[in-house]
């Protein structure tokens, strides 16, 4: 099987896992803070079927797999009713930010696994070093697919976490910003924020915002992997 096809398949598997971690974290935190809405709908689970959105989780990844375009997508939003929170502002913020935090925790865990692979054998060290340099991995060792899928998990969880911290509706970062805005500008913020988000996603190839943001963070992890 062609390596590019393998990478795309791995990306989709990792993507489903990453969104499941993200959305189930929202549901778990909301339930802990007094809102059982998502828990009652079975959203406190890593089962990706519970979090699938027809367009964001199936259609767009399928297009990416067929066309070779960058993987783009999203999960079904976790339903939260802030009226059930005791502290409506702080509890809403905590429920929002726990999603990106969960992805960062997974990313750090993937880094640790890659470090262990690199230290376990010369072949493992070669594979991890090659991945950190975005180089072609020329080996038939079974370590290669394991390291590759872990590296893709590191990359996609970082991307998902960073992307959701952007303070534009409906992303998680907007839940922090909106509590500090006057009521008179909230509607404008919600409408214009969604429009700006689509512009950012569709034209990032020209705007060069998301790429450098992820790239600088990945460079930090890659530089540490190179030191192993």
Q: Per-residue DSSP letters for 184-197? A: HHHHHHHHHHHHHH
pLDDT tens digits in sequence order for the chain, 228 residues long: 567 777 878 888 999 999 999 999 999 999 999 999 999 999 999 999 999 988 778 887 777 667 665 666 778 999 999 999 999 999 999 999 999 999 999 999 999 999 999 999 999 999 999 999 988 777 778 899 999 999 999 999 998 898 899 898 888 999 999 988 998 898 899 888 888 887 877 776 566 676 777 778 888 888 998 888
- Given a contact cutoff of 8 angstroms between Cβ atoms, the answer to whether 172 and 165 are in contact is yes
CA separation for the pair 43, 41 (Å, rounded) = 6
CA separation for the pair 194, 192 (Å, rounded) = 6
Contacts of 33 (CB under 8 A, 6+ apart): 85, 86, 91, 94, 95
- Given a contact cutoff of 8 angstroms between Cβ atoms, the answer to whether 11 and 150 are in contact is no
**What is the value of pTM for the model shown?**
0.90
Contacts of 70 (CB under 8 A, 6+ apart): 64
Instruction: Let me know the angle formed at the C-alpha of 7 by 106 and 157, rounded to the nearest 5 degrees.
Output: 20
CA separation for the pair 228, 210 (Å, rounded) = 28
Show the DSSP H helices in 68-182 as ranges: 88-120, 122-132, 143-164, 172-177
Question: Considering Cα of 59, then 157, then 217, then 5, what sign does the dihedral take?
Answer: negative
Q: Which residue has the tokens 């960058």?
A: 70
């Amino acid at each position: 099987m062609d390596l590019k096809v393998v990478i795309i398949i791995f990306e989709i598997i990792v993507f489903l896992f990453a969104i499941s971690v993200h959305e189930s974290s929202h549901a778990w935190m909301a339930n802990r803070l007094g809102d059982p809405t998502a828990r009652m709908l079975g959203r406190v689970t890593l089962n990706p079927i519970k979090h699938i959105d027809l367009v964001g989780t199936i259609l767009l990844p399928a297009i990416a797999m067929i066309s070779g375009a960058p993987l783009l997508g999203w999960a079904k939003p976790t339903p939260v009713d802030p009226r059930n929170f005791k502290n409506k502002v702080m509890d809403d913020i905590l429920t929002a930010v726990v999603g990106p935090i969960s992805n960062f925790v997974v990313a750090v865990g993937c880094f640790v696994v890659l470090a262990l692979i690199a230290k376990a054998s010369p072949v493992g060290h070669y594979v991890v070093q090659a991945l950190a340099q975005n180089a072609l991995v020329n080996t038939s060792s079974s370590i290669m697919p394991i390291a590759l899928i872990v590296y893709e998990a590191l990359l996609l969880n970082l991307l998902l976490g960073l992307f959701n911290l952007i303070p534009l509706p409906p992303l998680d970062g907007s839940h922090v910003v909106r509590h500090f805005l006057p009521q008179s500008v909230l509607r404008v913020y919600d409408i214009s924020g969604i429009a700006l988000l689509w512009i950012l996603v569709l034209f990032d190839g020209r705007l060069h915002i998301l790429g450098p943001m992820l790239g600088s963070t990945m460079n930090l992890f890659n530089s540490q992997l190179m030191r192993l």
